[in-house]
Structure 1
Amino acid sequence: MASVVEEISANRHHGGFNRRYKHRSSVLGCDMTFTVYFPPAADSGKVPVLYYLSGLTCNDENFVQKSGAQRAAAARGVALVAPDTSPRGLGVEGEADSWDFGVGAGFYVNATQEKWRAWRMYDYVVEELPSLLRTAAPFAACLDADRASVFGHSMGGHGALVVGLRNPQAYHSISAFAPVCNPCNVPWGIKAFTGYLGEDREAWKQYDACELLRAFSGPVRPPILVDTGSADKFLEVQLQPGALEAAVKDSGYGPAKLRMQDGYDHSYFFISTFADEHVNFHADALLGPPGAGGGKQ
């Protein structure tokens, strides 16, 4: 039986609608919210899905309200799907003690430590949410959840890279804004992985884009686009784009375009500047370029 989905808000936008939903997650054991932007093309047929994974402290609304990505999504006929970043309301001791672990900081892993057993955001993003989009009444008739791509920011950029590289058959393309590239070796990642996954560093590698790239062997290689700002205050300590560049080079993975954007920081000012490019990058992969049946820009 499909999960019961409750619409909790709706806003007209660029000829389509941002609609926010709540449902009971069997994977996480709590109510979860997510937001879908339905482009105008969803009124007359199924459109592909572009998932956006948000960063630390965010929920499903940050990207929807701040990125401006709906303009390009409307023009190209692509739905945007933004899930929350962690379970909420479970009352786990210490879940809200810090901003970079627990609530709002799921890191898109499946926790193995008993205390954090509900923190299974990887399964939620890869399995439960797509299944919901395929079967629940508000989505089944207008979203093509089997035609999907994924992108994200910071912690969510890490998540997008991991989700896409581990499931290359499921995602046509992958992109990221300022991702945590090598979480096995940076403070945010070490804290999260130790807490959620324990001390075994070998177990961490399945959630590290650099490790996944070096081990990648599949014949299907979704194209990758990564933008990072040169003025990002987290650049050297937490993000380490150089590690990702080295992993791409070592693995020979292609096509992958890694860009450093001069003077941009970690904020949604940065994301909104390049949001159209990322949406069009994914739309080209999902639909073909404009003029070839891929919508207009």
Structure 2
Amino acid sequence: MAGASVELVSSVKCFNGFQKVYKHVSKELNCSMNFSLYEPVKANPEEKFPVLFYLSGLTCTEQNFIQKSGFQRFASEKKLIVVGPDTSPRGCNLPGDSERWDFGVSAGCYLDALMEPWSKNYRMYSYVTKELTQLIKDNFPNTGKFGIFGHSMGGHGAMVIGLRNPDLFLSLSAFAPICNPTQTEWGKDVAFKNYLGEENRAKWNIYDSTEVIKSYDGPERNILVDQGDDDEFLNTILLPQNLKAAADSNPKVKVNLRMHPGFNHSYFFISTFMADHIEHHAKILNA
């Protein structure tokens, strides 16, 4: 393999491909990081695949998605490499990084922190958009076409990253994303306050997908968003209606918000609609 060094941690056959986990030393995060990667079996030595990134939610590692979502069947059928980064730096042992389930370890929020002590390690935005994407390009048989999706905090990350980097991530979708964190108690009083700082409130909006949509002026985007109407976080932290309203005011962004009766915030919900999301990305990335 070329490029930065990656080390294989595990590999297991799953449908017509292999579910793998790798580790590497991250320069952006200043620590060792794991990521999952599903790789279809090549039909010939020269075959290359589009790449789909999945960003997980609060409390997750790279393991939750690969064990609970059932995506591998559909990724195998559509011949997509699917990459799942971890949700935060690991092993940095910063003061207070493990005191809450919704901040610090497993809660990197996919932003670049501005405040000490977080700013040295909590750079998940740059990790995903620069370091990990380049590592995949250098080390795996890819076509250069990337898409991105995610769940909850990861849905927030996918929306922000996809909208701010439309030339890198060509397709975009989300399950139950945190849509407007600057208008939630979690965003204002926990994540953005501590990572970004009250004095930097002018920069909060670049990590809020509802606000990013309002000023978006890139290529037209067609975004699939699935949301359960029995989601325990629907009206306190997710706020999908704000995202839809912003998209309805911007002709360059179409959000297909599908509300599903009876579904909650869990991977039971995600697995139910996973095939639709893989299809959504495959149509664009395999074009």
Q: Structure 2 length normalisation: TM-score?
A: 0.95
Distance in 1 (alpha carbons) for counterparts of 2:148 and 2:126: 15
What's 2:54 paired with?
A: 52
Alignment of 1:150-169 (within 5 A): 150-169=148-167
Q: Is the 8 A contact 2:213 2:253 kept in 1?
A: no
Q: Distance in 1 between matches of 2:16 and 2:75?
A: 11
Q: What is the one-letter code of the residue matched to 1:100?
A: D
Aligned length in residues: 282
Could you tell me how far 1:39 is from its partner in structure 2?
1.5
**Residue 169 (structure 1) shift:** 0.9
Q: Residue in 2 aligned with 1:20? A: 21
- Contact 1:48–1:148, Cα closer than 8 Å, also in 2: yes
Counterpart for residue 223 of structure 1:
222
- Letter of the 2:182 partner, please give it: C
CA distance in 1, matches of 2:42, 2:167: 25
Q: 1:245 is matched by which residue type in structure 2?
A: K
Structure 1 unpaired stretches of 5+: 289-297
Q: Which residue of 2 aligns with 1:73?
A: 75
Q: Distance in 1 between matches of 2:230 and 2:250?
A: 28
**Mapped partners of 1:182, 1:69: distance in 2:** 27
Contact kept? 1:181, 1:239, Cα under 8 Å: yes
Deviations 1:196-241 (A, max 9, x none): 00003211000001100000112x1232000010000000001011
In structure 1, the residue matched to 2:192 is 193
Quick one: distance in 1 between partners of 2:261 and 2:40?
Answer: 32
SS of 2:23 mapped into structure 1: strand
In the other structure, the counterpart of 1:205 is: 205
C-alpha deviation, 1:83, in angstroms = 0.3
* CA separation of 1:259 and 1:123: change in aligned 2, threshold 3 A: same
Identify the residue that residue 293 of structure 1 maps to in structure 2: none
**Which aligned runs of 4 or more in structure 1 are off by greater than 6 angstroms?**
none
User: How big is the shift at 1:43?
Assistant: 5.9
Q: Deviations over 1:31-63 (max 9, x none)?
A: 000000012247641100000000000011110
Q: State how far apart, in whole Å, the 2-side matches of 1:120 and 1:221 are.
A: 28
The residue aligned with 1:247 is: 246
- Counterpart-to-counterpart distance in 2, 1:8 and 1:227: 32
- 1:245-282 Cα offsets, whole Å, 9 max, x none, are 11111222333211111111000000000001000100
What is the alpha-carbon distance in structure 1 between the residues aligned to residue 53 and residue 30 of structure 2? Answer: 22
In the alignment, which residue of structure 2 is the partner of 1:263? 262
Distance change in 2, residues 1:7/1:257 (3 Å): same
- Secondary structure at 1:34's aligned position in 2? strand
In 2, are the aligned partners of 1:41 and 1:74 still within 8 Å (CA)? no
CA distance in 1, matches of 2:238, 2:158: 14
Question: SS in structure 2 opposite 1:37?
Answer: strand
Asked if 2 retains the 8 angstrom alpha-carbon contact of 1:42 and 1:77, the reply is: no
Distance 1:177 1:135 in 2: 29
TM-aligned CA distance change 1:76 to 1:41, over 3 Å: farther
Partner-residue secondary structure (3-state), 1:90: coil
Match of 1:131 among 131, 134, 138: 134
1:223 aligned counterpart, secondary structure: strand
User: In 1, Cα distance between the equivalents of 2:246 and 2:77?
Assistant: 35
Instruction: Please state whether the residue corresponding to 2:113 is helix, strand or coil.
Output: coil
Partner of residue 295, structure 1 = none
Residue 100 (str. 1) matches residue 102 (str. 2): yes
